[in-house]
Amino acid sequence: MPKHPLSADELMGSREIRFIDRQETNYPNLMRLCMDFDFRVLQLLHKTPVPTANKSFVLVTKDYRLTPTAAISPPFATVEQLETYVHLHQVDILHNYLFGFVDEDIVSSGGLSE
């Protein structure tokens, strides 16, 4: 699961979406990643109106301010769509977060043969 670069040239800024209450969240998968694993959900604020400007919610690592490739997910138009993506890819997201690579990376670098 590749990381998705955030281009600072396209963005005016961003704001973090916080998950406060574990009991009342509508987004349990995002809440778990944010509260238990220090991920962040960002709403991206674009400088100019572009066709992708409606895709403004993304999952990032906690060091997103320092790393241009901190985005874990592609951008989505709604938090609900991001929740669905995280639900479908949660194992891969956590594997990459905890171990830093996936088996395809090892095979492509010549570390294992098929």
Task: Say if residue 108 is exposed, middle or buried (CB neighbours under 10 Å; 0-12, 13-18, 19+).
Answer: exposed
Name the packing angle between helices 28-37 and 79-99 (round to 10°): 40
Instruction: Give the pLDDT of the chain (114 residues) as one tens digit per residue.
Output: 445 555 555 666 778 888 877 766 789 999 999 988 889 999 888 776 655 556 789 998 888 777 766 788 998 989 999 999 999 999 999 988 888 755 455 445 444 443
pTM: predicted TM-score of the whole model, two decimal places = 0.72
Buried b (16+ CB within 10 A) or exposed e, 20-33: eeeeebebebbbbb
